[in-house]
């Protein structure tokens, strides 16, 4: 086969600070690229992830999050725990000395990297291999769905370090595994491997490590096969179900179906 006949990978729309974004039609792929540091996270990486969310074309329907190397993400870069922290970034000591409002704003800025994955117009899929620790676990939890390799190891280690999980991971964790198990996982910081992850609902699918990319691609294709507006309405129904009572959810279903019927018959707005 000549080089001219080989398929070309899309040019990255963003490629910096350990994050690369490529878009191919309705599918976006976000790749963590710092394999040498096991995709450890930093404020710079979080800013890049936040920009990814803002840079996605409106045509994108499915976002796949993946990582290069042996680990999905080993969590917060250990440099954050040194007195000086990251060059040009506030250290933990600097943050602690800020006013309540300023400290809250700083953490809210970090959280933005984790919030956009569950937008109603997108379905996000994390392909997770190896270690997904702390911030890495929370980034996987930020996605709607998780396909994991047999070598996966999830752990929430923040409490063991005297901190709390603050990158939006507590809400989806409780949703997926329940309060008691979430409390146990966070406080003990123990590892959750693939079989348990699938059993308790952290993983939608477990596959051999060598099949992770193919299995994720198959799931993405299946998600893209469904009509976009129906997916958006269904996701909204499911996301709001826990906050609604039974009768409220019935009413929400009726309203959503009415919109779909009118759209399908050309009577929508």
Q: Where are the domains of the chain?
A: 3-225, 229-264
| Chain segment 91-147, per-residue pLDDT in tens | 999 999 999 999 999 999 999 999 999 999 999 999 999 999 999 999 999 999 999
Which CATH superfamily is 3-225 part of? 2-enoyl-CoA Hydratase; Chain A, domain 1 (3.90.226.10)
CA distances (Å), origin 79, targets 37, 41, 42, 177? 11, 10, 9, 31
Task: Write down the residue that tokens 């602690």 correspond to.
Answer: 96
Give the three-class secondary structure for 252: helix
Which letter does DSSP use for residue 73 in this model? B
Phi, psi angle pair for 16, to nearest 5°: -165, 160
Q: What's the CA gap between 69 and 12, in Å, rounded?
A: 19
Backbone angles phi, psi at 214, to 5 degrees: -65, -40
Across the chain, where does the E strand assignment appear?
14-16, 19-24, 27-32, 62-67, 123-128, 131-133, 145-149, 153-155, 192-193, 205-207
Q: What is the mean pLDDT of residues 179-192?
A: 98
Answer whether 172's CB lies under 8 Å from 186's CB.
no
Q: Output the six-digit token pair for 178.
A: 């329940």
Q: What is the mean pLDDT of the chain?
A: 95
pLDDT digits (tens, 9 = 90+) for 31-90: 999 999 999 999 999 999 999 999 999 999 999 999 999 999 999 999 988 888 899 999
**The 3-state secondary structure of 140-197, one letter per residue:** HHHCCEEEEECCCEEECCCHHHCCCCCCCCHHHHHHHHCHHHHHHHHHHCCCEEHHHH
DSSP SS3 for 6? coil
pTM of the model: 0.94
């Amino acid at each position: 086969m000549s080089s001219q006949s080989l398929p070309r990978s899309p040019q990255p729309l963003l490629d910096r600070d350990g994050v690369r974004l490529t878009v191919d039609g309705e599918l976006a792929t976000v790749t963590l690229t710092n394999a040498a540091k096991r995709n450890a996270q930093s404020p710079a990486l979080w800013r890049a992830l936040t920009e990814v969310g803002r840079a996605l074309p409106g045509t994108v329907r499915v976002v796949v999050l993946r990582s290069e190397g042996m680990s999905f993400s080993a969590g917060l870069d250990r440099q954050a725990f040194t007195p000086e922290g990251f060059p040009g970034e506030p250290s933990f000591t600097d943050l602690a000395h800020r006013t309540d409002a300023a400290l809250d704003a700083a953490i809210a800025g970090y959280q933005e990297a984790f919030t956009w994955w569950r937008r109603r117009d997108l379905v996000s899929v994390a392909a997770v291999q190896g270690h997904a620790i702390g911030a890495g676990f929370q980034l996987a939890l930020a996605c709607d769905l998780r396909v994991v390799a047999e070598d996966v190891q999830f752990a929430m280690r923040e409490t063991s370090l005297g901190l709390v999980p603050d990158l939006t991971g507590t809400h989806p964790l409780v949703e997926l595994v329940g309060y008691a198990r979430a409390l146990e996982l966070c406080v003990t910081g123990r590892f959750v491997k693939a079989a348990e992850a699938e059993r308790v609902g952290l993983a939608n699918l477990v596959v051999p490590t060598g099949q992770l990319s193919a299995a994720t691609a198959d799931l993405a294709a299946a998600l893209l096969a469904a009509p976009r507006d129906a997916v958006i309405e269904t996701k909204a129904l499911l996301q709001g179900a826990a906050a609604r009572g039974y009768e409220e959810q019935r009413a929400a279903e009726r309203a959503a179906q009415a919109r779909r019927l009118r759209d399908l018959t050309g009577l929508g707005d």
